[in-house]
Amino acid sequence: MMADSNEEYDEDNIRKSCLRDKFEELDEIIEMIDNLLTIPLTEDGFRIAEKAYEDFKYIVNQYIEQRVLLDKCLSQILTQIVTVIRVSPEIETKHRAFKYLYLITNVRGYKIIARHLPHEVTDMYHMLQLLESLDPTDTSNWETRYGAILWLSTLVILPFDMTKFDNGCANLSFMDRFVKLCMTYLMSTDACRKVAAFLTSRFLSRTDARELHLVPFLHWFIEKINEGTIQVESWDRFGPLAGLAAVLKHGAREDLLPYGSQLLECVVRTVNINNYPLTSKYAIKIMGRIGLVFLKPKVNKWKYTQKRQNLEYNLANRNVPGQFQQMKESHHVTGEEGDSDSDNDEDMEIPSEVEIVIEELVKGLQNKNSTTRYTAAKAVARVINRLDQEYGDQVVCYILELMNLRNNENSWHGSCLALAELARRGLLLPSRLRDVIPLVIKALDYEELRGFASVGDSVRDSASYVCWAFSRAYSPEVMEPYSRSLAVALLTVACYDREVHCRRAAASAFQESVGRLGNFPHGIYIITTADYFTLGNRINAYTDVSLKIAQYEEYTEAFINHLLKRKARNWDPNIRTLTSKTLSLLAARAPLYMSYCAMPMLLRDYTRSEDLNTLHGGILALAELVLAIRSYGPEHILDRLHKHELEYLIARFNQENVLKGSCNSMLLMACCTFISNCSQAQLPFHDRPVIDEWQQLIDECVCHPTPEVRELAAVALQNLSLQYYSDDTEAVILKRNEIVERYVELMMAAVEQASRMGYAHALG
């Protein structure tokens, strides 16, 4: 695991060195597009076209993480592609041009590309004809259909009369053909379905199309969804759901309101029967937007707002006495919950459908799919924004109830996302923070063991998002009572979380809070120490970054307590090993706290635990602290406080048969480390029975089949000999000779290779 972290850190450095500042291959891309007109339609031409396609794909895919660099060149690139499509009489050349268009769209996004596509009315008829001539089930040239539909979504919003195209069609009007096309591709199973939903929403937002085709489309949707509910495994509902979600987003409220109840009933029934991720995602989108249809748009007077914050002021005055009093005078907060102009002038009637919507959205916050949970969080915030304060606060309470130990990680994750979205919109009032902040701090520490691994990294990540949203939403004086506890919680995650994305998310939230609030202790120094790259490597975060932060007393004991209570018993043995090493380094910052608090906790609770992870982590931490306290603590403090417990620890393990069993390798390794460090710490155990007990354990480990156990046993024997077998007394000399002779004899008689290697290593 540690090797993985190093590789991850190296990849970050490589990525940093490869960042670009502009789209450098523009001329090459334009030339490749122009060459499409010259590639022959022969076997050799197909090979040339395929090679050119791969080169084009390689170039544009390099900008996936810096896609905005394409923006300045998009118009020029798209103009060239469209020119090829218009000029070429060969359908194969058009296919190749549309493939290039899709590659650009895949990098930049279809909504951005739609803004830059040409918008000449004459292109609409040709694109519609092209789509009608293509086979919707053809898998070899689906990019052509995708690009043509996307281009139509730009053309359809032009304000012109579509009936002027009706002259060439005797059976169907141009608009009827358009509707048929939308419905056909909404039922497709490829990527065309997504842009078809986009096209449908734009088409039905036209006044002439809305009057004639909106109601038939809604009936068609209900029919298709009801057909899909009969076949539970059918995927045919994805397109209609995506189409309705887009129509509800762009449609007029007064047109959709009469059908809201019927649509809601249909969607609720669908999501209860089928729980595909796409089904639940689109269903949540639809239900959230139906809720907005039932609620009138209004100016929300009760939400929390504040004046624009001054980043330079926060940074410059972070250490100035009376800073927060000055902030209170300069930051006038409006929209407080006690405002007499809130919503008391009008009693708001909540339709029963809205209650159903809210209930389904809260269920969506607990969905097993993370995308659905995020969709539900945004939908909940939008609906609450149109409620009055009383109803909005009830929904917030409903969300907070999800954050309890009875619920799983999905509920916690969804609740955190919802709280973040509410805070961003000012819908989480400052009076609620005293209830919310403790739950957010719990979420930052959330981890549940599942089998041989754990879950909860998504919860910790989303909790960091909540803190990030708080720093942007509230003024410094509102957050000042919670600043220290949040700072400690965020830095604990930033330094000690197992997952790199959680460490970086917490560091980002801390940095945002320092910049916007300015009341996190020692924030400026810390954000220069704990950044995106230094926290990318787990070992560096534990053993370097956390030590630099722990020099401040506000964080020292909090870091130690977190390592002891959470990381020393972690399910990952690499984390437990790293925790023990970090505790030994932190002992230099707080030797007395380690002696009087940490050591008793380890001896009392951890070394007597029946849980293997806790026991292993406790022995390792104890071993490292013994040596660290001897180096940094007051003289003889170990002898005075913990000598008896340390002396009889291995004996107690032997009496309780703790070290016996098939899974004892980790415990034996930890005990060898304990013996080695106690010997280096020069504990006064000379001529005590404990030395024989330690020697007996080393004898068992020297011939162990696990190489790591044999290695640590040899190191333990070396340190034990240097400290307790170095005297020239007759008894000690006899003991040394007896061990050497016995090991030589056992090595010569051993049949297994592992045993011979172990004895030879110990003798060496």
Burial zone of 194 (CB within 10 Å; 0-12 exposed, 13-18 middle, 19+ buried): buried
Q: Are 413 and 462 in contact (CB under 8 A)?
A: yes
Residue 536: phi, psi to the nearest 5? -70, -30
Give the C-alpha distances (Å, rounded to integers) separating 269 from 230, 233, 241, 287, 330.
Answer: 11, 15, 13, 12, 53
Q: Tokens 């690499």: give the residue.
A: 574
Structural domain of 725: 652-764
Rg over CA atoms, the chain:
34
| pLDDT: which is higher, 313 or 139 | 139
- Determine how many CB atoms are found less than 10 A away from the CB of residue 475: 20
* H or E stretch at 184: helix 174-186
Of the chain, the percentage scoring pLDDT greater than 90 comes to: 73
Q: Are 626 and 638 in contact (CB under 8 A)?
A: yes
Burial zone of 12 (CB within 10 Å; 0-12 exposed, 13-18 middle, 19+ buried): middle
Question: What local confidence, expressed as pLDDT, does residue 343 receive?
Answer: 45
Contacts for 279-282 with beta carbons within 8 Å, 24 or more apart?
279/237, 279/238, 279/241, 280/364, 280/367, 280/369, 280/372, 281/369, 281/371, 281/372, 281/375, 282/238, 282/241, 282/242, 282/244, 282/245
Q: pLDDT for 681-737, tens place per residue?
A: 999 998 889 999 999 999 999 999 999 999 999 999 999 999 999 888 888 889 889
Residue 283: phi, psi to the nearest 5? -65, -40
Amino acid at 65: E
Query: Has residue 693 been placed in a domain?
Result: yes
Q: Tokens 């020029």: give the residue.
A: 76
Q: pLDDT for 242-294, tens place per residue?
A: 999 999 999 999 999 999 999 999 999 888 777 788 889 999 999 999 999 99
- Range with the poorest average pLDDT among 95-99, 266-270, 273-277, 399-403: 273-277
* H or E stretch at 11: helix 2-17
Paired sense of beta strands 448-450 and 453-455, if any? antiparallel
Query: Has residue 728 been placed in a domain?
Result: yes
- Kindly state the average pLDDT of the residues 666-692: 93
Q: 455: which strand partners?
A: 448
Q: Is pLDDT above 60 for 161?
A: yes
- Kindly state the average pLDDT of the residues 567-576: 96
Give the C-alpha distances (Å, rounded to integers) separating 711 from 511, 623, 668, 702, 707.
Answer: 44, 17, 11, 8, 6
Amino acid at 98: F
Q: Tokens 């019927």: give the residue.
A: 262
Query: Has residue 404 been placed in a domain?
Result: no
Q: pLDDT for 453-476, tens place per residue?
A: 899 999 999 999 999 999 999 999
CA atoms of 542 and 575, how far apart (whole Å): 10
Q: Is pLDDT above 70 for 346?
A: no
Q: Which residue intervals of 205-237 are DSSP H helices?
A: 207-230
Confidence of residue 637 (pLDDT cuts 50, 70, 90): confident
Query: Has residue 280 been placed in a domain?
Result: no
Query: Has residue 266 been placed in a domain?
Result: no
Query: Has residue 57 been placed in a domain?
Result: no
Query: Has residue 63 been placed in a domain?
Result: no
CA atoms of 668 and 685, how far apart (whole Å): 21
Q: Is pLDDT above 50 for 7?
A: no
CA atoms of 232 and 601, how far apart (whole Å): 55
- Kindly state the average pLDDT of the residues 81-105: 95
| pLDDT: which is higher, 92 or 340 | 92
Q: Is pLDDT above 70 for 231?
A: no
CB neighbour list of residue 28: distance below 8 Å, 6 or more residues apart: 59
Report the domain count for the chain.
1
CA atoms of 160 and 148, how far apart (whole Å): 19
CA atoms of 513 and 522, how far apart (whole Å): 12
Question: What local confidence, expressed as pLDDT, does residue 272 receive?
Answer: 78
**Closest C-alpha to 530, from 557, 555, 561:** 555
Question: What local confidence, expressed as pLDDT, does residue 311 receive?
Answer: 57
* H or E stretch at 665: helix 665-680
Q: Are 762 and 702 in contact (CB under 8 A)?
A: yes
Q: pLDDT for 605-627, tens place per residue?
A: 999 999 999 999 999 999 999 99
Residue 527 gets the label, from left (phi > 0), alpha (psi -120 to 50) or beta, of alpha
Q: Is 99 helix (H, G, I), strand (E, B) or coil?
A: helix
Query: Has residue 699 been placed in a domain?
Result: yes
CA atoms of 650 and 694, how far apart (whole Å): 7
Confidence of residue 337 (pLDDT cuts 50, 70, 90): very low
Q: Is pLDDT above 50 for 2?
A: no
CA atoms of 384 and 427, how far apart (whole Å): 8
Q: Is pLDDT above 80 for 336?
A: no
- Kindly state the average pLDDT of the residues 464-491: 96
- Kindly state the average pLDDT of the residues 11-35: 77
